[in-house]
Amino acid sequence: MCEDTQKESRIRASIVKSLFATHQPPSDMSELTQEKSRIHASFVITALAAHQIASNMNELTQERSRIHASIVISALAGHQAVSYMNELTQERSRIHASIVIGALATYQLASDMSELTQERSRTHANIVKSALAY
């Protein structure tokens, strides 16, 4: 009877081992599926992080372009102001030259009038001398 009991125990142990062996693979499969899901999630997170970095870089590039445009516009405005100042300075110089030319013309006219007056006086003096000489 002892032999039968031992044989029966071995059979039961064999069945238990068999059940345990068949139970282990699904557990391993579940673990592998979870690991696969974690790896997949890691890939998705990495892709999202890369997309976010690219988006941030794009935003920074646009901001840099706006700043550059602002600097260029500011420089152009400064250049335009300098150009206007240069134009105003040239106009002031032309006005000043016109005033000087006008004053010189007036002086020349006065000088010519003075010369004509002196010539007239000399002519008049010559006429008087001629008349007195006869």
What does pTM read for this prediction? 0.44
Residue-wise DSSP of the chain:
-HHHHHHHHHHHHHHHHHHHHHHHHHHHHHHHHHHHHHHHHHHHHHHHHHHHHHHHHHHHHHHHHHHHHHHHHHHHHHHHHHHHHHHHHHHHHHHHHHHHHHHHHHHHHHHHHHHHHHHHHHHHHHHHHHHHH-
Residue-level pLDDT at 24: 58
Residue-level pLDDT at 19: 61
The count of residues in the chain is 134
Q: Where are the domains of the chain?
A: 1-134
pLDDT, tens digit (0-9, with 9 covering 90-100), for 47-73 = 999 999 999 999 999 999 999 999 999
Q: d(Cα 81, Cα 76) in Å, to the nearest integer?
A: 8
Percent of the chain with pLDDT over 70: 90
Q: d(Cα 100, Cα 59) in Å, to the nearest integer?
A: 61
Is residue 10 pLDDT above 80, yes or no?
no
Residue-level pLDDT at 124: 93
- Given pLDDT bands bounded at 50, 70 and 90, which one contains residue 3? confident
Residue that has been written with the tokens 């500011």 in this structure? 74
Residue-level pLDDT at 25: 60
Per the model's pLDDT, the better-predicted residue between 130 and 57 turns out to be: 57
Residue-level pLDDT at 93: 95
Residue-level pLDDT at 77: 92
